[in-house]
Amino acid sequence: MNCSFCNRKAVYKNEVQGRYYCDTHFSNYVEASFRKELRDQLGRTHDQLKIAVAISGGKDSSTLLYLLWKTLKENRKVHITAFTIDEGIEGYRNLGLESARKLCGELGIEHMVLSFNERFGKDMDTIVKSGIKLEGSPCSYCGPMRRDLMNRASTMINADYVALGINLDDYAQSIAMNFLRGDYERMIRLAPHKRKLDGMVRRIIPLRKLSEKEIKLYAILNSIEHDQSWCPFSLDAQRNKARDLLNSLEVERPGTKLAIVSFLDSLKENNKQDNLSIGKCKKCGNPANGQYCSSCIKSGFDKEEESFQS
């Protein structure tokens, strides 16, 4: 099949649009989607702008960093710094970290690393091996600690925004999971953040309209350095169910995932409280629903604080 825009051989069919793309037109399409989202999410023009980019070394975050670099490299008002969170997962994070370092080196982007070990005195391998009773899955332990370090990194960088490599599949799953849990507030607080949230650097997710498949293909066609390994602890059962459900709905009706994203956009548009403020953790100051944020609870810092007080 030929490209819908020229006579070259197609490498991809977009099922929602019913169009075929050759390698060049496919890259143009991905870059146009990225630039539009970036413009919409950053909003007004800024005099100076610092963007912290969370890079795991996987295809999504590596493509995000590459596209930010490609789009903004001539713009002297914008400063990009990348950071990686090292959860201490042998056979996974060490490989991602190596790829992240390599890509940042190639693009000439400053790169910092924050580790679970330094911040919490333990890493994920130790936590899982210790036999500690993990509520849900290792992800329910790891996620809040990652968020804590993400906030820490973006504050250290003094960033105006932190950019995350969240693709359409991940984003639609997060929306669906919050819906299924009936967690309206958390759903409304999902990135992108147009307004500042208490104690949190605003997050942008300019890949959110591009599917995992599209990002993977773009990374390959553009030879973007990335690691392909999977986290051995990725057993989030609820997310896996949401992924399967949405994938089958997408096959039956292409465009379902994009429709879910537009649904959230409309909700946010109509909700004057999309900057719903939440409290601050007594221990570290991060956003928290109760007295302590989930990261301090998971890492046991809340107990230390209470025993100190008693």
Residues engaged in binding ligand SF4 (CB under 6 A): 87, 124, 138-139, 142-143, 231, 233-234
Could you give the CA distance from residue 204 to residue 163 in angstroms, rounded to a whole number? 5
Q: Which is nearer to ligand SF4, 143 or 254 (CB)?
A: 143
Q: Which is nearer to ligand SF4, 139 or 219 (CB)?
A: 139
Whose CA is closest to 57, among 66, 44, 46, 47?
A: 66
Reading the block at residue 270, the tokens are: 């109509």
**DSSP string spanning 25-64?**
HHHHHHHHHHHHHHHHHH-S--SSEEEEEE--SSHHHHHH
As measured in angstroms, the least distance from the Cβ of 140 to ligand SF4 is 8
Could you give the CA distance from residue 206 to residue 114 in angstroms, rounded to a whole number? 23
As measured in angstroms, the least distance from the Cβ of 185 to ligand SF4 is 22
Q: Which is nearer to ligand SF4, 111 or 146 (CB)?
A: 146
Q: Which is nearer to ligand SF4, 79 or 298 (CB)?
A: 298
As measured in angstroms, the least distance from the Cβ of 99 to ligand SF4 is 15
Q: Which DSSP letter does residue 196 get?
A: P
Q: Residue ranges of the alpha helices (H) in the chain?
A: 23-42, 59-72, 93-107, 116-120, 124-129, 138-156, 168-181, 184-188, 212-221, 237-252, 256-270, 294-299, 301-309
Q: Which is nearer to ligand SF4, 41 or 151 (CB)?
A: 151
Q: Which is nearer to ligand SF4, 218 or 233 (CB)?
A: 233
As measured in angstroms, the least distance from the Cβ of 253 to ligand SF4 is 29
Residues 6+ apart with CB under 8 A from 253: none
Spatial contact of 172 and 199, defined as CB atoms under 8 Å apart: no
Reading the block at residue 38, the tokens are: 């970036």
As measured in angstroms, the least distance from the Cβ of 52 to ligand SF4 is 19
Which residue bears the tokens 């919490």? 120
Could you give the CA distance from residue 265 to residue 278 in angstroms, rounded to a whole number? 21
As measured in angstroms, the least distance from the Cβ of 129 to ligand SF4 is 13
Q: Which is nearer to ligand SF4, 117 or 256 (CB)?
A: 117
As measured in angstroms, the least distance from the Cβ of 244 to ligand SF4 is 17
Strands 110-115 and 78-86, how do they pair? parallel
Element (H, E) at 275: none
